[in-house]
Chain A
């Protein structure tokens, strides 16, 4: 039971059921952490982030008028880096996530279809059923992706 509780506390993200598309529910102790975990959840829809070993770093910056739009912008930025620059990120470090600006790093290596067990593409994060909230010091986010 203790172990289960610990696992639950450590859970960074999980998949959400949606008929046509897929969603991610992410958790964290701060907005910054939930942004990082949500990003990890998104890339896990494309490849296996645990297979990423490299320590290359790519700067990620996003701006938006409010925090939910910021989360969408942040994820869109990462999608761009994966698709255009060919990154496979295994970890995300968020230095700052205010309500309107997020800055951080993606840590990883060049994407390799075999090594990273690529399973599909994400077209975009959507605003449908988008959630981002803090409850009692715990942050949760939900994003539905078009895949």
Chain B
């Protein structure tokens, strides 16, 4: 059903879906975008999903969608919903199966132009060092005890083992350790799916890319970013562990749905009160998966540094390989926000959306107090990626959230029908982008044509005040699962 009849533009790039659009909506919907994007989201059922999320008990202000909105399962991708911690719910579907799926950017002190000839060799080394694809085991083998410590302590545990650097922790959300993690709330099945997967990339839209910075604003210098710089981007999540935690708790909450008497428009929105036993258990398990995801990206970073050290016969520190930032774009976080003149403690669900806080928030590391929190936005493999920073305005408008990427425009099936993986690889290589992919069909699914124009998405985020652009990067080498 089209909801366009219930939508009006309330501000530039800001569209409101009235709370009367659908029975059960507790708050209006707000979509950040232009008219074209809005119409596409409507045709794609994604506006309907924004309205569905507005039915969640305890939701405040509005059910929000970022400009990269597209049809998801339950929540739209690009969806943000804040519920009251005292009387609202937590919805595992509002976090997604890939809990704390996220992106990090690793800097170098090298100019791409100076090391261009070394890129093919580096890509092959990375391809051999970072496990990827279905059922692939990682290079770290952990017993249950070790896994429990890792889930409870997050990236700190890895750093203590000599994997990653102490200063990386400050460049991660929550300092690399999401609070409240309780490994006893993670099932044996989730342990089994995750135990050999620390430091594995996965497949689908997950990737490792070498990129060159090709546009900067004056603020970039404060983040240690310069034009021509070679940087490395990693996109991965909590692997089988997170997928299983979500599966497990959707089942737990499904069984209790009657008890709480919630009438939800989509079963994938199943939820439980934040304050209930089921809600608390899920949050404790979700924190474990989030810690696992940060460890996963930290371990991958370790292999990346190792490859560069071997290739350039120099220490990674001397090569300037610092983590700029590590963001999660599938997570629920307890945060304080001003709503109607009052400070409320909220559970902010971000499903395909990124936290984008200004520098004055206590959650943001000291080193970013001046610029605001860095936000890493990956593009598709043929186009640009971006570094943005959080703004004061995003706090008022979107609970401090912005987009997470380009967002899909074409289904995987349609992409595979139209695009041949081998041809795509050749085309990208003719554009100067080296590709190492597991399977041609998997590559075709991720073709640039299957995605929205990331530049347009970022422009709207900036236009709506949700974040500010600092740098743009162009891919030079892509590794996919």
Contact = CB atoms under 8 A, between A and B. Distances in A.
Given A17-B414, A19-B70, A146-B96, A119 B135 contact: no
B221 interface: no
Contacts of B266: 127-128
B415 to A, nearest CB: 10
Nearest to B240: A83
B96 A84 contact: no
Contacts of B413: 15-17, 22
A146 B133 CA distance: 15
A123 B192 CA distance: 15
Contacts of B133: 113, 118, 121
A73 interface: yes
A54 interface: no
Contact of A83 (B134, B408, B414): B134
Interface in B211-250: 240, 243-244, 246-247, 250
A1 interface: no
Interface in B105-151: 133-135
A124 interface: yes
A90 B97 CA distance: 26
A20 B70 contact: yes
Contacts of A73: 251
Contacts of B24: none
A108 to B, nearest CB: 13
A61 to B, nearest CB: 13
A93 interface: no
A121 B73 contact: no
Given A120-B445, A121-B202, A84 B193 contact: yes
9 nearest interchain CB pairs?
A128-B73, A128-B268, A127-B267, A126-B73, A123-B243, A123-B97, A127-B268, A124-B97, A19-B71
Interface of B: 44, 70-74, 77, 93, 96-98, 133-135, 189, 192-193, 202-204, 240, 243-244, 246-247, 250-251, 254-255, 266-268, 270, 408-414, 438-439, 441-442, 445, 481
